[in-house]
Amino acid sequence: MLRKFGCFFLDACVVLTDVFQNKEYKDKVEKFNKNISEENIDCFTTKSVDNECKNRIKQIIEFAGTIVVNLKLKLAHKKIIESRDRGEHVFAPMAETDFELIEQIFVEKHKELKSHDKDVYSTEKELLSALEHWAVSFLEENIRSVKTRSFELFFYNLTDELMKICTDFQRRFDINKSLLDPKDVVPDTADVDAIKGIGIEKKDAYNVACVKKYQTKNDIWSVFVSLDYKDIVLKADELKKHQVLCSDPIHAIHRLKRIYRKIGEPPSKGLIKIHLI
């Protein structure tokens, strides 16, 4: 019954937390996924959110690629000098002295990210740390073997590791997309402007207004689920005045149940009682 009564629209940050497995919100999203599976609730995204997710995944993959390229160029330069000094015509093998340069490269990148917004760049930081851990661990494990400490093998395996990570991102997004039906909703301009008026940026206001439009057109309670506390979740009461409901993922199912329990009617009849929830 609850499935016919309401649905969820997911913000990009919720979808991408599932894709990137971000540590900070991973447990909340996993709990949300469990709840919607048990209750068989429909989940959607707007076309705008779907495009934002695609662009973000592309951005992360490109970021990871620049890390590997930067590491390879700087280590290659070091190895060329070492080979020349030894009178050899092949790359010098990876050695204990390479840990210092690897540390410098990753510390430099960590410093660069530290100056940026925590929420926006949390995925980059986690990915950077994962690649750093792999590089150091692989070198530690193979430093004593002439066969496995070659420069070429090091970067072959590092690139392979990166490909596994990026393929996993895309796989999880494809799975999400197969479960989430992107809705091509065109919101009312007046609603977008009104929602912007309470301090919500245009992109988010557009998505929230889309949810309102879908709710009105289909006469089904539609809850916008977000991890954006500053611009969405903490403005739930203000958004309610615009006939839009939003929620943190971990509370979303209970928000929908509360609507069913306290109102028990579709939006066309129940919106006048929205203050009860």
Q: Mean per-residue pLDDT for 68-78?
A: 89
Of 13, 14, 21, whose CA–CA distance to 165 is shortest?
21
User: At 25, is the secondary structure helix, strand, or coil?
Assistant: coil
* Banded model confidence at residue 4, pLDDT cuts 50, 70, 90: confident
Among 60-69, 79-88, 206-215, which is the least confidently predicted range? 79-88
CA distance 265 to 173: 34
The percentage of residues in the chain with a pLDDT greater than 90, rounded to a whole number, is 60
Q: What mean pLDDT do residues 111-121 have?
A: 69
Tell me: the pLDDT tens digits for 169-193?
999 998 888 888 899 999 999 999 9
**DSSP string over 190-246:** HHHHHHHTTT--HHHHHHHHHHHHHHHHHTSEEEEE---TTTTGGGHHHHHTTT-EE
Contacts of 272 (CB under 8 A, 6+ apart): none
Element (H, E) at 266: none
The answer on pLDDT for 266 being more than 70 is: yes
The string of DSSP letters for 87-146 reads T-SSPPPP-TTHHHHHHHHHHHHHHHHHTS-TTTTHHHHHHHHHHHHHHHHHHHHHTT-T
CATH: 2.120.10, 1.10.10, 3.30.70, 3.40.50. Which one for 2-49+181-276? 3.40.50
Residue 114, pLDDT score: 79
> Is 70 exceeded by the pLDDT of residue 219?
yes
Which pLDDT value is given to residue 89? 66
pLDDT at position 206: 97
Q: Residue 107: what pLDDT? A: 92
Cβ atoms within 10 Å, residue 193:
12
Q: What is the pLDDT of residues 188-198, one digit of tens each?
A: 999 999 999 99
pLDDT, tens digit, 9 for 90 and up, residues 88-114: 767 778 888 899 999 999 999 888 887
**CA distances in angstroms from 222 to 43, 168, 193, 245, 261, listed in the order given:** 9, 30, 20, 7, 15
The residues spanned by each domain of the chain are 2-49+181-276, 55-178
In Å, how far are 65, 162, 165 from 69, measured between CA atoms?
Answer: 6, 11, 16
Confidence of residue 60 (pLDDT cuts 50, 70, 90): very high
Q: According to the per-residue pLDDT averaged within each range, which of 74-78, 135-139, 240-244 is highest?
A: 240-244
Summarised one tens digit per residue, pLDDT across range 12-41 is 999 999 999 988 899 999 999 999 999 999
Pairwise CA distance, residues 53 & 94, whole Å: 38
Give residue 161's pLDDT: 87
Q: What is the reported pLDDT for 117? A: 58
Position 151 scores a pLDDT of: 82
